[in-house]
Amino acid sequence: MIEVPDRDIKILAIESSCDETAAAVVRNGREVLSNIIYSQIKFHEVYGGVVPEIASRKHIEKINPVIEAALKESGLQLADIDAVAVTYGPGLVGALLVGVSEAKALAYAAHKPLVPVHHIEGHISANYIENKDLEPPFLCMVVSGGHTHLVMVDDYGKYTILGRTHDDAAGEAFDKVARAIGLGYPGGPKIDKKAKEGDPDAIEFPRAHVKGAPLDFSFSGLKSAVLNYLNAKRMKNEAVNEADVAASFQKAVVSVIVDHTMEAAKTYHVKKVALAGGVASNSALRSAMEEACKRRGYSFYRPSPILCTDNAAMIGAAGYYDYLRGIRAGLDLNAVPNLKLGER
């Protein structure tokens, strides 16, 4: 168990692992005093995906103004902050390094402790912000652009990965299928929107299961099935109903994610289920998971969409619990692009 101090702990959090430059001030892990997100999407969308070199350069340009804005909006000065928390992995190495270097400089200059935070731990901790009563243990389905992990949150900072993807991450599948349909980047929100006009039962796409690993995921077969369907249609010069493809693909992804999460909840006897990561803002996934939990009498938690996609408030939430657990980094902290959950 974590011992909670009887004074307020204010964390300045920094996130720069991919294409959002973000800073936030979070009090006691659950109260967001400011949450500034600078999205670089407009610079990347013409290339159909995130260009690492552009991401690093934009982070360098924006990191100082974003941090200043976060402090200003919180009404606090750097001197009032108890610790600086920063995402140090996983992510793009050049992008991560901008946040890590900035956090080290601030911690050194202001004589504050430096708390290294795992990006996925941040996504999971986004659930604490709007659910003040949520405490481990609970099950969390993490679905982002780079990760698909079914995680048992045993305690603050203690995780057991029950299921993972063998190939594409859920968000990656959304992005690739959106590109194939011609919806552009980033694909997740575009498929979500398009699917609302389509029939989710129009096309039967495969629900991939991994033999011998019932809680694992595989999305590459589904992605290929969508590509084959589109190619066959185009070869025959037949019109493609984009909304039906989007809705049917989305249904296939959502049903596998919900089924595996329910299976894990049953197997491990948990009655608290949470969603996290960019794909957790998908409207079909949110309602299907909510419905499945309701039917079984489970409590269901999910962050608001703005706290699902990359942001620094979630890093401040995770950073608070890491801070209380005494986790600190020195000025030799480095970015770790392939950092595993639960590793330091």
**Residues forming the site for Zn ion (CB under 5 A):** 144, 310
User: Do 68 and 24 contact (CB within 8 A), yes or no?
Assistant: no
102 touches ligand KG4 (CB under 6 A):
no
Distances (CA, A) of 164 to 92, 149, 254, 259, 296: 20, 5, 15, 14, 24
CA 98 to CA 120: how far, in whole Å? 18
The listed partner (Zn ion, ligand KG4, none) that binds 99, CB under 5 to 8 Å by sort, is: none
User: Do 88 and 116 contact (CB within 8 A), yes or no?
Assistant: yes
* Residue found under tokens 């595989």: 218
Shortest distance (Å) from residue 238 CB to ligand KG4: 27
Among 136, 163, 187, 303, binds ligand KG4 (CB under 6 A): 187
CA 151 to CA 162: how far, in whole Å? 6
Applying CB under 6 A, which part among 5-13, 31-39, 52-60, 171-179 lies near ligand KG4? 171-179
Applying CB under 6 A, which part among 1-9, 101-109, 262-270, 279-287 lies near ligand KG4? 279-287
CA 341 to CA 230: how far, in whole Å? 37
* Minimum CB distance to ligand KG4 smaller for 12 or for 279: 279
The listed partner (Zn ion, ligand KG4, none) that binds 195, CB under 5 to 8 Å by sort, is: none
Q: Is 287 exposed, middle or buried (0-12, 13-18, 19+ CB in 10 A)?
A: exposed
* Minimum CB distance to ligand KG4 smaller for 52 or for 113: 52
Among 40, 148, 248, 309, binds ligand KG4 (CB under 6 A): 309
Shortest distance (Å) from residue 295 CB to Zn ion: 29
- Greatest alpha-carbon span in the chain: 70
Shortest distance (Å) from residue 315 CB to ligand KG4: 12
The listed partner (Zn ion, ligand KG4, none) that binds 74, CB under 5 to 8 Å by sort, is: none
Output DSSP code: residue 201: T
Both tokens assigned to 10 = 């204010």
Which residues of the shown chain bind ligand KG4 in the complex (CB under 6 A)? 18, 144-146, 171, 174-175, 186-189, 192, 277-279, 281-282, 309-310
